[in-house]
Structure 1
Amino acid sequence: MKWIREPIPGCAGYTEAMIALTPTEAAILANALRKPLRELQKQLERLDDIHELGEATERQEARRCDIGETVTVLKYFFELESLNLKK
């Protein structure tokens, strides 16, 4: 695992920092994140139900948005990790 810098498309001279993982590191990280992802998905489902009923507080709505973003990022990580395993 190491930090790398990649150029930002359309922004000459600017770079973006990101972490590069080996396939082994990605697999270890994926195994560690499976259970937290399932728990977050359950929380998101519960908050979505409250939202759909129109009974969500502002705090619940904010939490729903935060959890939704986290779930999206984690799902994307798992997609990338599964593509890496196919190679």
Structure 2
Amino acid sequence: MNKTNENASGVRGIVNEAKILNPEIGVYKEHFINDRFRYIVRLSNGRVEMSREIAQDFELQRSKVTRDRIKKVADSYSSI
């Protein structure tokens, strides 16, 4: 995995939205891109995973980011 700043505002925005659905999700710390070209987001208390597309959509066309897509991110949460 490689640390990246790509789509940083989208990643942070999705984490904040996912936190509404799952209050256990901690604070964004940094994110990485894995070998499947997905973002792994390190949080203050664990991690979540999301597609690059959802982060890009959040930045460019927020209306494309549905609650179901955010729920998938929230459901990927795992604690430390």
Q: By the TM > 0.5 criterion, same fold?
A: no
Decide which structure has greater helix share.
Answer: 1
* Higher gyration radius (CA): 1
**Higher normalized contact order (CA 8 Å, seq sep 6+, divided by chain length):** 2
Decide which structure has greater strand share.
Answer: 2
Normalising by structure 2, we get a TM-score of 0.29
Normalising by structure 1, we get a TM-score of 0.28
